[in-house]
Amino acid sequence: MDKKNREEQNCRVNLAELPLKNDEISPFHPDETIILTSPVHGFNYPPLVIGFLLRLPKGKNNVILMNTRAGMKIGRLITTGLSGITFYFAAFVLMLKGYSIKGMVPVDMPSNWISVHPGLNSNTINYLHEQNYKRVLATSNRVLSGKTCFIALREIAQDLLIAPIAVAYYFIGRFIIAKTYYTSSKCNDCGLCITMCPAKAIKRINQRPFWTMKCESCMRCMSNCPQKSIETAHGFIAIIIFAYSAVITKLLYPILKTTLLFTSPFINMIFESLIFLILIALGYRIFHLLLKFKSFERLMLLTSLTWYRFWGKRYKAIKNYGQK
Ligand X SMILES: Cc1cc2nc3c(=O)[nH]c(=O)nc-3n(C[C@H](O)[C@H](O)[C@H](O)COP(=O)(O)O)c2cc1C
Q: How far apart are CA 62 and CA 34, in angstroms?
A: 6
Q: Mapping DSSP to helix (H, G, I), strand (E, B) and coil, where does residue 22 land?
A: coil
Find which of ligand SF4, ligand X, none residue 69 binds, CB within 5 to 8 Å per kind.
ligand X
Q: Judged by CB under 6 A, which of 101, 149, 192, 279 binds ligand SF4?
A: 192
Is residue 201 a contact residue for ligand SF4 (CB under 6 A)? yes
> Of the candidates 115, 117, 90, which has an alpha carbon nearest to the alpha carbon of residue 104?
90
Selection from ligand X, ligand SF4, none that 113 binds (CB < 5 to 8 A by kind) is ligand X
**How many residues bind to ligand X according to rule CB under 6 A?**
18
Residue 42 as a binder of ligand X (CB under 6 A): the answer is: yes
Closest of 57, 101, 129, 89 to residue 315, by C-alpha = 129
The answer to whether 238 and 305 are in contact (CB under 8 A) is no
Is 86 in contact with 44 (CB distance < 8 Å)?
yes
* Interaction partner, residue 288 (ligand X, ligand SF4, none; CB < 5-8 Å by kind): none
Q: Which is nearer to ligand X, 61 or 180 (CB)?
A: 180
Q: Is 225 in the site for ligand SF4 (CB under 6 A)?
A: yes
Query: Which among ligand X, ligand SF4, none contacts residue 225 (Cβ within 5 to 8 A by kind)?
Result: ligand SF4
Residue 193 in contact with ligand SF4, rule: CB under 6 A: yes
Residues linked to residue 72 through DSSP beta bridges, in sequence order:
79
Give, as ranges, the residues between 178 and 217 that touch ligand X (CB under 6 A).
217
**From CA 111, how far away is CA 219, in angstroms rounded?**
11
Contact between 231 and ligand SF4 by CB under 6 A: the answer reads no
Among 219, 222, 225, 240, binds ligand X (CB under 6 A): 219
Torsion angle defined by CA atoms of residues 166, 182, 37 and 152, in that order, rounded to the nearest 10 degrees: -30
The answer to whether the beta carbons of residues 186 and 227 sit under 8 Å apart is yes
* CA–CA distance, 169 with 43 (Å, rounded to integer): 8
Chain contacts with ligand SF4 (rule: CB under 6 A): 183, 187-193, 197, 199, 201-202, 209, 211, 215-221, 225-227, 229-230
Chain contacts with ligand X (rule: CB under 6 A): 39-43, 68-70, 81-82, 84, 109, 111-113, 217, 219, 317
